[in-house]
Amino acid sequence: MDENNLEAIALPTLDEARLASLGNCPLTKLRQYRDGESIFEAGDRECKFDVVKSGDVEIRDESGETPKTIVVLHPGQFTGDIAQLTGGPALVSGVARGNCEVYEVSQPALRNLLNQHLDMADLILRAFIARWRYLRQPGRFTGLRVIGRQDSPDTLRVRNFLDKNGVPFTWLNLDTNPQATQLLSRLGVGEGSSPVVAWGCKVVMRNPTNRELAEALGLRQPLEQRVYDLAVVGAGPAGLAAAVYGASEGLNTVVLERTAPGGQAGRSMRIENYLGFPTGITGADLAERAVVQAYKFGACVSVATLVQGLSFDDGRAVLHLDGGETVASRSLLIASGADYRRLGVEGCEPFEGRGVYYAATPIEAQMCRGSDVIVVGGGNSAGQAAVYLAGQTRKVYLIIRGDDLYKDMSTYLARRVEETPNIEVLRNTEVRRISGDGHIGEVEVVNNKTGEVRTIKTQALFSFIGAAPRTDWLPPEVERDDEGFVRTGPCLANSQHWTVPRPPSLLETSHAGVFAAGDVRSGSVKRVASAVGEGAMAVQFVHQYLKQA
């Protein structure tokens, strides 16, 4: 989508008929503002959805050193972005320009509007998504300012957390940008406190945890003290699909996500074999759209919410969270996914976050642009990373342990790897040692057939060598296979933990009412489409279970 199209979609104008319908709606209020009066301010958490009836509304960015105008809204145009659905704080401020009137719509009324008036819902949701992308364009919006050093693992963690959650921010590198040091001085913060996250001069956070960031940004949602119909652990493709289908079919649904929506798929820079997207879609875009859908139907998605344990009380699943909170639910879907395994070779650990990475996003690519890099792994994730990095770096060495690139990689992707001139595939090769001075400098590799040893000078190594399931929080009642993946299906009818007369359904675990979908499930197909399908299918099994319970 080019910039002109993006701006047109982000700033639509409601016609007279739609304006009239808002005026006649009992859920809206007509508000009047004088010239210069504030309509809403950045940081407000109870922002209304405002449609301009007369006059103008200036949308301002007050996150930088001096306020600046982003756009001026005219009659028929409206305020808001995805935060209107999530309950997060407003990123911008709105000020009346001239005496103006606006139709004010509360958040519950907006959700009702989106579900009852589909023509208006399409226009509003497309605008919200486009505005989110519009604000993330370089130089468009200051947003949060992250001040830190390039080689700091915590700086990388903060930047990745904000990026994965779609939060607009500007990074100021303490190593190369004099303005970064000057800003810290104005904020009264020493360099030893970095990374520092600041919103204007009002909010200053010193090396915040992901949870602290999520709470400040409204990403960690308040959880109701009630029993949910469906709790979903993990917001990857399977978890988000379950959230959309569960909430849209009337289940009170909560999704608890450790880091950011999207899971491993959310890190992919280009998914080309997902049905309906012939030109491909990034994992982040797919996750963003799914989150908007989930919120539209009323699901609660809480980020930086770590599930540490599971117990059962009177037939209900009780999830134990970090901080001592609990969430109770009549049914549970385990969709916690899997993490890429640590490389675990000599010298690797000290360089994690300092040249050794387990994701290839624009943030990591920026730090090694124009240099030689190494990608380890023979699956689709490694292939996608190699192709993406080939467009950002001088050369990519793709290291695979076997001799057949097509064994675990989709044919179209393996061919693209072979046809990319600056990708060199090193077959029958393994990493033996990593070295450097504070940052990765050299990687020693060995051919496991010939024994030949080779040293490659590089600034970055990206590892995608298989997955370890996130199942350490599960109790014995939920059986796992030898590798830790959750077992499901009728074969568990003879399990000592299965206590009801019927056999388990296809995606049901060894405990009735607890289901598993996506990468965390034993025997699952590790593809985005299959994960989405399993998440949707699991909701049907949940309905069947709840009817019998």
pLDDT, tens digit, 9 for 90 and up, residues 257-279: 999 999 888 888 888 888 898 88
Of the residues 101, 132, 163, the one at which a domain ends: 132
pLDDT of residue 123: 92
pLDDT of residue 28: 87
Whether the pLDDT of residue 212 is over 60: the answer is yes
Do residues 74 and 94 share a domain? yes
Do residues 319 and 358 share a domain? no
3-state secondary structure of 375: strand
CATH code for position 150:
3.40.30.10
Do residues 443 and 355 share a domain? yes
DSSP letters along 143-188, please?
A: -EEEEE-TT-HHHHHHHHHHHHTT--EEEEETTT-HHHHHHHHHHT
Average pLDDT over residues 71-87: 90
Q: Interior CA angle at 383 toward 381 and 385, to 5°?
A: 70
The answer to whether the CB of 179 falls within 8 A of the CB of 172 is: yes
pLDDT of residue 67: 86
Do residues 123 and 16 share a domain? yes
Residue-wise pLDDT tens digits, 9-31 = 999 999 988 888 887 878 789 99
Do residues 128 and 8 share a domain? yes
Residue-wise pLDDT tens digits, 306-339 = 999 999 999 899 999 998 999 999 999 999 999 8
In a domain, 343, yes or no: no
Omega cis (within 30) before 476 = no
Q: Output the pTM of the full model.
A: 0.91
Average pLDDT over residues 385-396: 96
The answer to whether the CB of 68 falls within 8 A of the CB of 277 is: no
Average pLDDT score over the chain: 92
Q: How far is CA 192 from CA 114, 148, 195, in A?
A: 47, 10, 8
Whether the pLDDT of residue 2 is over 70: the answer is no
Of the residues 181, 209, 237, the one at which a domain ends: 209
Do residues 447 and 522 share a domain? no
Do residues 459 and 360 share a domain? yes
Residue-wise pLDDT tens digits, 425-437 = 999 999 999 999 9
Of the residues 446, 463, 480, the one at which a domain ends: 463
Rounded Cα distance, 297 and 323, in Å: 28
Omega cis (within 30) before 153 = no
Tokens at residue 12, please?
Answer: 């639509």
pLDDT of residue 1: 47
Rg from Cα positions in the chain: 25
Q: How far is CA 288 from the centre of its chain?
A: 7
Rounded Cα distance, 346 and 445, in Å: 11
CA neighbor of 147 nearest in space, from 199, 184, 200, 187: 184
Share of the chain above pLDDT 90, in %: 71
Tokens at residue 167, please?
Answer: 């939060």
- Contacts of residue 119, Cβ cutoff 8 Å, sequence gap at least 6: none
Range of the domain at 354: 349-463
**Worst-scoring range by mean pLDDT, 97-111, 363-377, 481-495, 496-510?**
97-111
Rounded Cα distance, 107 and 436, in Å: 53
Share of the chain above pLDDT 70, in %: 99
In a domain, 439, yes or no: yes
CATH code for position 244:
3.50.50.60
β-bridge partners, 440 = 436
pLDDT of residue 138: 78
Rounded Cα distance, 143 and 362, in Å: 18
Residue-wise pLDDT tens digits, 231-251 = 999 999 999 999 999 999 999
In a domain, 14, yes or no: yes
Whether the pLDDT of residue 70 is over 60: the answer is yes
Whether the pLDDT of residue 4 is over 60: the answer is no
CATH code for position 124:
2.60.120.10
Furthest C-alpha separation in the chain: 80
Do residues 12 and 120 share a domain? yes
Domain count of the chain? 4
Do residues 7 and 126 share a domain? yes
Do residues 255 and 302 share a domain? yes
In a domain, 216, yes or no: no
Do residues 164 and 269 share a domain? no
Whether the pLDDT of residue 189 is over 70: the answer is yes
3-state secondary structure of 352: strand
Do residues 423 and 529 share a domain? no
